[in-house]
Amino acid sequence: MKIVEMLNSRLQPIGMQVKVVFEQPQRDDKIGEEDLERARFYITLAHPLSLSDVVGSGWRIDEVAALAAVISYVSSRGGKAPVNDVREMLQTKFPRWKAEAAIERFTRRGYLHISEDDVIYVGWRTRAEVDQRELLKALMEIVPTESEESTAASEDVSGGER
Amino acid sequence: MIELCRTVERKGLNPFDVDVKSLLTRLRRMLEEARYVEDIVMDAETLYRIALLIAFQGRWLRDKASALFIDHQLVAVKLAMADNESLAQAFLRSWRPIVRLEQLTAYKARLGMEHFLNLPSINREKSKLPSPREISVSEIEEMMRAGLLEKAWFEEKLKEVHAELLDQARRGQVDYWQFIAGEDLEESVARAYAVSFLVTNGKVDLRVDPLADKKTLVVLDETEDRGETRSLAVAIDEEILREKKRERQSGENSREG
């Protein structure tokens, strides 16, 4: 752990940090040798990205929104939810083809994991990259806009045409 | 009852929706009426599933607490009402993308090593590779005559390298790469090979500082205790050797100047 702390002190000035992901959720004061041996260590950004950074790195806004929706929904259900429920939830915002493509893409990228009995779990990459508690808090602070329903409806039409 | 308990846990449904008390009452009645061993075994399985459901209730409460007791239906409503940009902004607050996707843990590395060591050894006959046993004594003599193998050479080289190392060690710490860097790659490999023998014989110690990425050679007394020993593989890096050679040449030039 000392090495991680030393590496962290080198990474912090350049805007990065070491993220330790344990196999089982840990309390900071109860980290054992074995936990560390089985843990995974990632270097992540230390500060939030801006929307323009994200768009510049190849993500689309609606793709990020879909990822936010899926992770916060699964997270609020204790880290797992049936695929059908997640798909239905996504279809309130996106056309069907887009919802299915998003689930498939996020699974491939490691953000989600789908079990054989069609249950979606939070994937390893979500555990490494996303502070799920902070995401739910941020979601609750969103002030809803009126134009959303019409956006979803118009996207649904365009999705149907495809 | 078993299927109900399984479904609730598998689908992550609210476990408090299940009336555990009534399940247990029903199970008790069934147990009292059970006449065959199969029925009793099934009742035991049901009791086990109900116990798991109670454990799930505890876990569910913990998860809810960590999720600030935000209900998934409330989340679904919020998601439906929020626009994409607000959702993306909320996500960015909690998102710290990883810098690179490559990953390896000590545990996985050990699994990999175990797998490698358990691999069947290569079938030399099938792959038409020469077996080491096929080299005869006469062939060795022939190689010695051709100058490819020299019996006395290695012992002399070992002594020579050891003496050189002793000399350099008197002037301070000896950098491993600096020491093995010869005039060409062949000489550097020969020096590294000799050093590895000196380390194995206990005449020299190779100390590694992983943080500074530095390897140092220390000449040991014969009476000195080496402490815990371990194997170390050092890949010959031509780039480092060239750099060390340049450093040495520039040092020699400045001394001459």
Domain identity same for A75 and A120 = yes
Number of domains in chain A: 2
Residue A8 has pLDDT above 80, yes or no: yes
Give me the residues paired with residue B205 across strands: B218
The helix/strand/coil state of B82 is coil
Answer whether B11 sits within 8 Å of A119, measured CB to CB: yes
Residue B194 has pLDDT above 80, yes or no: yes
User: Which domain covers residue A43, as residue numbers?
Assistant: 1-47
Contact A58, A70 (CB under 8 A): no
Answer whether A142 sits within 8 Å of B90, measured CB to CB: yes
Domain identity same for A134 and A77 = yes
* Cα nearest neighbour of A89 on chain B: B76
Measure in Å the smallest separation between the Cα of A13 and chain B Cα atoms. Answer: 15
Q: Which of A77, A121, A155, A156 to mutate to test the interface with B (most CBs of B within 10 A)?
A: A77
Chain A partners within 8 Å of B72 (Cβ): 73, 76-77, 81
pLDDT interval class at B208 (50, 70, 90): confident
Check residue A149 and give its pLDDT: 46
In whole angstroms, what is the distance from residue B100 CA to residue B230 CA?
Answer: 31
Domain identity same for A58 and A81 = yes
Domain identity same for A9 and A77 = no
Residue A6 lies in a domain: yes
Task: Return the higher-pLDDT residue of B227 and A39.
Answer: A39
- DSSP code at position B79: H
Positive or negative torsion for Cα B138, B140, B146, B152: negative
Answer whether A132 sits within 8 Å of B211, measured CB to CB: no
Domain identity same for A74 and A98 = yes
Chain B partners within 8 Å of A78 (Cβ): 12, 59-60, 63-64, 67
Domain identity same for A83 and A39 = no
In whole angstroms, what is the distance from residue B27 CA to residue B21 CA?
Answer: 10
Closest-CA residue to A104 (of A93, A90, A159, A23):
A90
Check residue A154 and give its pLDDT: 44
pTM tops 0.90: no
